[in-house]
Amino acid sequence: MIPFDSITHVLLDMDGTLLDKYFDDYFWEHLVPEKYAEKHDITFGRAKELLMSKYKAHEGTLNWTDIDFWSKELSIDIPALKEQIKHMIEAHPHVKDFLRLLKMNKKKVFMVTNAHYKVLEIKLRETAIGEYFDNCITSFEMGYPKEMQEFWRKAEDLIGFDKQRTMFIDDTVEVLRAARQYGIKHLYLKNRPNSKKEPVLNNEFTAVDDFSELSRMLPVQDRF
């Protein structure tokens, strides 16, 4: 059971946690390699191999999710390409119900994401979940990715959360480890970020499979 009575702040990741990561995986692993292959007249397999190497080199840095950086690096208009398939952006089941219940319970709710602010704008527009947040904080605003302690120091200064009374849900173990190192107490892993792939293997953090599980723990009788 999650001690919601003692939790004042709820921090939530976006991609993979609230939103189905199928969109992002399809975009970076299939659509971008396809366009890159066409541009350079190489096979899809070779294009994907080259791109995966490029992605890996910037993993865990601000460049990792900086679509302006990738537009320049690959000479492909990444924002325009995302707009083309924005209809594929979807929230995980029961996400809106959970967010609504958090607000009904007077929790302070913040999105904390490594996503670029341009991507954030597209996804908030397509999913209409922005109304449930007190604020949305990006790694670009903080100047550091969530994997770094500096992100959490700046986020605490901005939000004013109490580490012992804060809950954080993310789909990336490395990010949760950074939050744990910083001292955030209530940490949970969204264990199936991509609904079409197998759950993330994990024995460090309590897993969240479906947000309806969390909704049932919130102390509200007349839910909707």
For residue 5, the tally of other CB atoms under 10 A from its CB is 8
Q: Which pLDDT belongs to residue 219?
A: 74
Read off the pLDDT of residues 57-72 as tens digits, 9 standing for 90 and up.
998 899 999 999 999 9
The reply to whether 221 falls in a domain is no
Please write the tens of the pLDDT for every residue from 20-48: 999 999 999 999 999 999 999 999 999 99
Please tell me the distance from the alpha carbon of residue 51 to that of residue 37, in angstroms, as a whole number: 10
What value does the CA radius of gyration of the chain take, rounded to a whole number of Å?
A: 18
Q: Is the pTM of this model over 0.75?
A: yes
Looking at the structure, tell me whether residues 81 and 153 fall in a common domain: no
Is 223 inside any structural domain?
no
- Sign of the C-alpha dihedral computed for residues 109, 166, 89 and 67 taken in this order: positive
Give the residue among 94, 96, 48 at the shortest CA–CA distance from 74: 48
Question: Do 108 and 81 fall into the same domain?
Answer: no
Residues 30 and 61 in one domain: yes
Q: Is residue 131 part of a domain?
A: yes
Side chain identity at residue 121, one-letter code? E
Range of the domain at 53: 23-87
Residue 13 lies in a domain: yes
How far is the C-alpha of 1 from the C-alpha of 4, rounded, in Å?
A: 9
pLDDT tens per residue across all 224 residues of the chain: 899 999 999 999 999 999 999 999 999 999 999 999 999 999 999 999 999 999 999 988 999 999 999 999 999 999 999 999 999 999 999 999 999 999 999 999 999 999 999 999 999 999 999 999 999 999 999 999 999 999 999 999 999 999 999 999 999 999 999 999 999 999 999 999 999 999 988 889 999 999 999 999 987 644 44
Residues 10 and 5: their CA atoms lie apart, in Å, by 12
Alpha carbons 67 and 51: distance in angstroms, whole number: 14
What pLDDT score does 220 carry?
A: 64
| Residue 1 pLDDT | 81
117 shares its domain with 69: no
Q: Which of 53, 70, 87 is the last residue of a domain?
A: 87
Q: Which of 38, 68, 87 corresponds to the end of one domain?
A: 87
**Are 71 and 100 part of one and the same domain?**
no
The count of structural domains within the chain is 2
Domain co-membership, 167 together with 68: no
